[in-house]
């Protein structure tokens, strides 16, 4: 079986912790974990099944210039990479209280970039059970990937990840 790549960032935070949880649910031997700070387009090319893990920031943050984050360095790779034939899934960390009007927006931005580059997104999640006001990560009434709120709903993370992986592996 071909390995699934989990590209994640930033390192040593909630996204990294959830990436490890996702890997353990899939089976660590079936996954390659790749920190995006050192990832390249050739790394993306090696895999037909890719999971991205991204921390969520609001529209106000994306509109500012942040050139010192892992994703600010890697996002240009994503927006120029040909994802045709790639199966892609995304999980995004967000805070549904502080960023109720921008909940997991960066997951939506990443998903749109991937689709614009020919990728197919798998692992959509129902909005049921989530409390928020607005999100750029909603497409056709569903989240484009798995939202995780480690700030205010960490007790739900394990089940949400387990359910998502079970569903995702059927699609992948």
The tens-digit pLDDT sequence of the chain (172 residues) is 689 999 999 888 899 999 999 999 999 999 999 999 999 999 999 999 999 999 876 444 444 454 557 888 899 999 999 999 999 999 999 988 888 788 899 999 999 999 999 999 999 999 999 999 999 999 999 999 999 999 899 999 999 999 999 999 999 8
pTM for this one? 0.92
Q: Check: CB of residue 145 under 8 Å from CB of residue 122.
A: no
Q: Domain limits at 70? A: 4-171
| Cα 70 to the center of its chain, rounded Å | 14
| Number of domains composing the chain | 1
Cα torsion at 88, 127, 164, 114 (round to 10°)? 10
Pairing of strands 146-148, 87-93: parallel
CATH number of the domain at 144, please: 3.40.50.360
Q: Measuring CA to CA, how many Å separate 126 from each of 65, 134, 157?
A: 32, 14, 15
When computed from its CA atoms, the radius of gyration of the chain, rounded to whole angstroms, is 15
């Amino acid at each position: 079986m071909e390995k699934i790549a989990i590209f994640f960032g930033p390192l040593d935070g909630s996204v990294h912790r959830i990436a490890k949880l996702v890997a353990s649910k899939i089976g660590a031997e079936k996954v390659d974990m790749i920190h995006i700070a050192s990832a390249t387009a050739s790394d993306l090319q090696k895999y037909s099944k890719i999971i991205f893990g991204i921390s969520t920031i609001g529209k106000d943050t994306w509109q500012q210039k942040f050139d010192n984050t892992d994703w600010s360095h890697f996002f240009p790779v994503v927006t120029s990479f040909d994802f045709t034939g790639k199966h892609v899934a995304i999980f995004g960390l967000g805070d549904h209280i502080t960023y109720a009007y921008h909940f997991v927006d960066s997951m939506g931005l990443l998903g749109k970039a991937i689709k614009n580059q020919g990728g197919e997104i798998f692992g959509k999640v129902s909005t049921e059970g989530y409390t928020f006001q607005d999100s750029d990560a909603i497409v056709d009434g569903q989240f484009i990937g798995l939202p995780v709120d480690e700030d205010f709903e960490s007790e739900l993370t394990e089940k949400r990840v387990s359910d998502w992986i079970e569903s995702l592996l059927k699609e992948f």
